[in-house]
Amino acid sequence: MIGGGPAGLAAAIAARKRGLSVIVADGAQPPLDKACGEGLMPDGLAALQALGLQLPLAESYPFCGVRFLSAALSAEAPFPGSGCGRAVRRIILHRFMIESAEQAGVEFLWRTPVTGISPTSVHLGKSTVRSRWIVGADGMHSRVRRWARLEKSSLPGLRFAFRRHYRVAPWTDHMEVYWGHRCQGYAVGVSTEQVCVALASHDPNLRLEDGLPHLPRLRERLAACEPVSMERGAITGNRRLRRVWRGNVALIGDAAGTVDAITGEGLGLAFRQAVALAHCLESGDLAPYQLAHRRLMLRPLMMARLMLMLDGRPRLQHPTLQLFQKCPQIFRRLLALHVGALPASRFVHDGLSLGSGC
């Protein structure tokens, strides 16, 4: 496994559960942090559990639904059934997954940059590790993807995200999405005394401090709050590769294509990919992974495109939130579709018009 982030660790754990010997190589030293919203949707938690992992409850924080807010409107929906998501600091999640991988028997080569691959080996500077399978989990700018000649993809529409934590008790049990003219803001409690706040826009220079004035309700919440982490930035967007494997090389996580962070599905998607990939590694045939990967990407990509229709369109944001307020069942069903509790075919069959109750 080339890359020791959550995607690489998930693939390593899944492969070990299938009886494969696994080495993870990464040029960095853990714990690895990254700008992300830090919320796992209920389906993301289920994907983590499919790997045999239970997120530590004492080091994470629950949220039971999603709330959309604009300058004057708000609408919310709970997750289907009794489902809840959980938010966890990225460095805590990374530490937990490393410990789980070590217990599963994964070998680690930290601070060991990978310098190239060949059909049977991974090159680590002057040394070489022979490998039957090579998995690229090295992120959006994957070198493994380039080495394996898997670069062809749809042209991504990039956005720029910045994240910081604030010392404040969570004011809601929902993940909140704040809609503005130039940007979106996201807030979710990650502990009893910290909230993770992120901002995303098409402007690489629009940092948190500059973006909050465009989100007055979020700015008011944070007015007297102390930042407790440095601001981190990342690039996000939808990108779908034509192929995610070639020969004995497969890609996973952001290396294999991305969905915009607005969905909150990046981690859950990587966990589901890990289970599918491990099955193919065990069987000795990577071809089915392409089909599984395409199927897993469908719903998150569809929901990302749907949500991004509101991006930078206040004339669409206002009537959409008004509709969600007037017909909360529409928002509930969209959220159920988002987390995989409602099949797309059922949603399309029933339609958005749910009767005279609206």
The CATH number that applies at residue 122 is: 3.50.50.60
CA neighbor of 112 nearest in space, from 33, 24, 34: 24
Is 200 part of any domain?
no
Looking at residue 348, what is its pLDDT? Answer: 61
Cβ atoms of 295 and 41 within 8 Å: the answer is no
Residue 29, amino acid: Q
Is 166 part of any domain?
no
Is 41 part of any domain?
yes
Segment 113-117 long-range contacts (CB within 8 Å, at least 24 positions apart): 113/27, 114/2, 114/25, 114/27, 114/138, 114/143, 114/144, 116/147, 117/2, 117/144, 117/147, 117/148, 117/249
Cα separation of 349 and 358, whole Å? Answer: 18
CA neighbor of 307 nearest in space, from 237, 203, 218: 237
Is 94 part of any domain?
yes
pLDDT digits (tens, 9 = 90+) for 59-69: 999 999 999 99
Is 193 part of any domain?
no
Is 121 part of any domain?
yes
Is 89 part of any domain?
yes
Which range of residues forms the domain containing residue 98? 6-56+82-156+237-308
The CA-atom distances, in angstroms, between 349 and each of 62, 194, 345, 353, 358 are: 32, 42, 6, 11, 18
Domain count, the chain: 1
Positive or negative: CA dihedral 207, 220, 323, 81: positive
Distance in Å from the first CA to the final CA of the chain: 51
User: Residues of the chain whose pLDDT is less than 70?
Assistant: 155, 345-358
What residue has token string 């509101």?
Answer: 310
Looking at residue 350, what is its pLDDT? Answer: 62
Is 318 part of any domain?
no
Looking at residue 356, what is its pLDDT? Answer: 46
pTM for the predicted model, two decimal places? 0.94
Looking at residue 357, what is its pLDDT? Answer: 54
- Please state the length of the chain: 358
Looking at residue 80, what is its pLDDT? Answer: 95
